[in-house]
Amino acid sequence: MVDVFGLSECGSNSWNKFQKQHKGVFKNSSEASRAYNDLKVNKSPWPYDYAPKKETLSPGEKIRMAMSEGQPSNRPGGWATTDEIPDVNMVREKLAVTKEFKENIAYVQEYEVIKELPVKTGTVGPQIDGLDGTYYHGGGNQIQLDVPPAERMDYLKPISDYKIE
């Protein structure tokens, strides 16, 4: 049997979960398949056909980041949330952080914005983990820091952290 849509490369249920989450979004299964394969390849952090909002975070606002084991607080990633992060499962499912992107999530770092910070905000789109094909639904709130990595600490001050499992 020939897999013309390339659906066999991912976890056995990721295609079904994608279809269920996107019921009524696409005109037909071919359009859904193209969107699914685009997600597998390009890994858009935003939901299908979604445009994030450009905003500026003000000094005093607080954001949270899920951090890898050994990741220092003065090396923040490019993505954050205002959502509470109680455990690793929430990071995986609601923030759609794949093992491919961040294998070991150890703690949450909370930062305070200390200088006006340009960002893009919106809903977390689904992701398909390239390591094992797991489908993560997304749906949480996300903030993309719109500044280069070397400049992030010019805008952020670490204020607290806590371990998660």
- Report the pLDDT value the prediction gives residue 12, as an integer from 0 to 100: 56
> Is the pLDDT reported for residue 4 higher than 80?
no
How far is 32 from 126, CA to CA, in rounded Å?
14
* Pick from 1-10, 37-46, 59-68, 114-123: least confident: 1-10
pLDDT tens digits for range 84-107: 999 999 999 999 999 999 999 999
Please give the distance of CA 44 from its chain centroid, rounded to a whole number: 9
> Is the pLDDT reported for residue 5 higher than 80?
no
Residue 135: count other Cβ atoms within 10 Å of its Cβ. 24
Please give the distance of CA 31 from its chain centroid, rounded to a whole number: 23
> Is the pLDDT reported for residue 50 higher than 90?
yes
Q: What percent of the chain has pLDDT over 90?
A: 92
How far is 8 from 21, CA to CA, in rounded Å?
19
> Is the pLDDT reported for residue 2 higher than 70?
no
pLDDT tens digits for range 125-163: 999 999 999 999 999 999 999 999 999 999 999 999 999
Ranges assigned E (strand) in 6-155? 53-57, 62-68, 79-80, 105-113, 117-123, 127-128, 135-136, 141-145
Q: Which sequence spans correspond to the domains of the chain?
A: 45-163
Average pLDDT taken over every residue of the chain: 93
> Is the pLDDT reported for residue 11 higher than 70?
no
> Is the pLDDT reported for residue 121 higher than 80?
yes
